[in-house]
């Protein structure tokens, strides 16, 4: 049985990863000069977003080749085959770094197999692909079969999100200060997706928080994969620190679209430094990203 590893850009709960034998390599998240998110360090979502809104200075950095090499060297005897499922190359250099680290490890351990999959997504758009990989492993699929399926289907895993506070996007470097000011005055809420290249895009701007949350569901209605039974497909919903909004979205998807299988979790610090606590994210298997 192959070992599955992801990074903390996937926003999967630690408890779920432990229960399903999924390891994590951590991109660094630093707040006011202190590491706040890692293997043995975890700040609660409430505390993180409170500190962020109070003006704490955040920074992040990608996994580097040395970190990747050290991880696999440390765990090389855990399995014969390893599958790393990582955050989009359109948003981070992590997958490239892991590939570089893995190349060195395989030179020292030619009897091992290590595969690296670029999800072309992030947050639960990445996490849902990890979930499917675990499902396939549990069903007895080989690592090669799992990699082939992920690479063939990754662009069908749609991720969409919205935020209430444009200044959080400005602080995270995603919009200009002028856009944040103008958008706030007009009560504009962006609808964001990851495109086929795994980069952020803003196909629509909506006025009002409630309408922006509703549009997450309307877009899902338009793009959901009708070939898959709704009661069997996984839907992942993540939020910064707005559980009530996430619950409204979940309940509406369940009632209006018929989905039954959900995971609801927090957007962790690594993603949250760029979006703030008002983010609500939905990911599911659909037809195409647009």
Which residue segments constitute the domains of the chain, with CATH numbers given?
Answer: 3-154 (3.40.50.10170), 156-285 (3.30.1180.10)
Convert the pLDDT of each residue in 241-253 to its tens digit: 999 999 999 999 9
Position 231 scores a pLDDT of: 58
Position 83 scores a pLDDT of: 98
Beta carbons within 8 Å of 41's beta carbon, 6+ residues apart: 35
- Does pLDDT of 208 surpass 80? yes
Alpha helices in the chain (DSSP H): 14-19, 45-53, 65-75, 94-108, 124-138, 143-153, 166-171, 177-185, 209-223, 243-257, 269-272
- Does pLDDT of 49 surpass 60? yes
Q: Please count the residues of the chain.
A: 290
CB 184, CB 167: distance < 8 Å: yes
Position 55 scores a pLDDT of: 85
How many C-alpha atoms does 22 have within 13 Å on its Cβ side? 29
Please state which of the ranges 120-124, 157-161, 255-259, 274-278 shows the lowest mean pLDDT.
274-278
pTM value is 0.93
Position 130 scores a pLDDT of: 98
- Does pLDDT of 230 surpass 80? no
Higher pLDDT residue, 210 or 224?
210
Higher pLDDT residue, 7 or 164?
7
Q: Where does residue 289 rank: exposed (0-12), middle (13-18), buried (19+ CB within 10 A)? A: buried
Average pLDDT of the chain? 89
Position 172 scores a pLDDT of: 53
Nearest alpha carbon to residue 47 among 39, 36, 34: 36
Winning range, highest mean pLDDT, from 106-115, 168-177, 254-263: 106-115
Higher pLDDT residue, 114 or 228?
114
Q: Which two tokens stand for residue 45?
A: 């979502």
Convert the pLDDT of each residue in 156-187 to its tens digit: 999 999 988 655 655 655 554 445 434 443 35
DSSP letter for each residue of 109-171: -TT-EEEEEE-S--THHHHHHHHHHHHHHHTT--HHHHHHHHHHHGGGEEEEEE-S-HHHHHH
Q: Percent of the chain scored above 90 by pLDDT? A: 67
Question: DSSP character for 156?
Answer: G
DSSP letter for each residue of 58-69: EEEEPPPHHHHH
Higher pLDDT residue, 182 or 150?
150
- Does pLDDT of 235 surpass 60? yes
pLDDT band at 228 (very low <50, low <70, confident <90, very high): low
């Amino acid at each position: 049985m192959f070992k599955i590893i992801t990074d903390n850009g996937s926003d999967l709960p630690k408890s779920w990863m432990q229960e399903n034998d999924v390891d994590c390599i951590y991109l660094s998240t630093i707040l006011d000069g202190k590491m706040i998110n890692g293997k043995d360090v975890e700040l609660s979502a409430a505390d993180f977003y409170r500190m962020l809104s109070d003006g704490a200075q955040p920074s992040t950095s990608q996994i580097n080749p040395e970190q990747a090499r050290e991880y696999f060297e440390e765990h090389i005897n855990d399995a014969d085959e390893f599958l790393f499922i990582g955050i989009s190359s359109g948003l981070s250099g992590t997958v490239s770094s892991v590939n570089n680290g893995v190349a060195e490890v395989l030179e020292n351990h030619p009897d091992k197999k290590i595969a690296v999959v670029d999800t072309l997504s992030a947050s639960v758009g990445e996490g849902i692909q990890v979930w499917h990989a675990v499902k396939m492993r549990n069903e007895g699929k080989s690592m090669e079969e799992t990699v082939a399926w992920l690479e063939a289907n990754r662009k069908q895993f749609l991720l969409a999100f919205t935020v209430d506070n444009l200044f959080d996007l400005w602080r995270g470097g995603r919009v200009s200060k002028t856009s944040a000011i103008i958008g706030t005055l007009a009560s504009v809420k962006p609808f964001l997706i990851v495109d086929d290249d795994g980069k952020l895009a803003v196909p629509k701007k909506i006025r009002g928080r409630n309408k922006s949350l509703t549009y997450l569901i309307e877009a899902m209605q338009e793009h959901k994969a009708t070939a898959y039974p709704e009661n069997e497909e996984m839907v992942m919903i993540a939020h910064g620190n707005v559980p009530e909004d996430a619950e409204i979205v979940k309940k509406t998807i369940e009632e209006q679209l018929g989905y039954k299988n959900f995971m609801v979790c927090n957007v962790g610090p690594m993603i949250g430094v760029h979006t703030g606590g008002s983010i609500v994210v939905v990911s599911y298997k659909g037809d195409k990203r647009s």
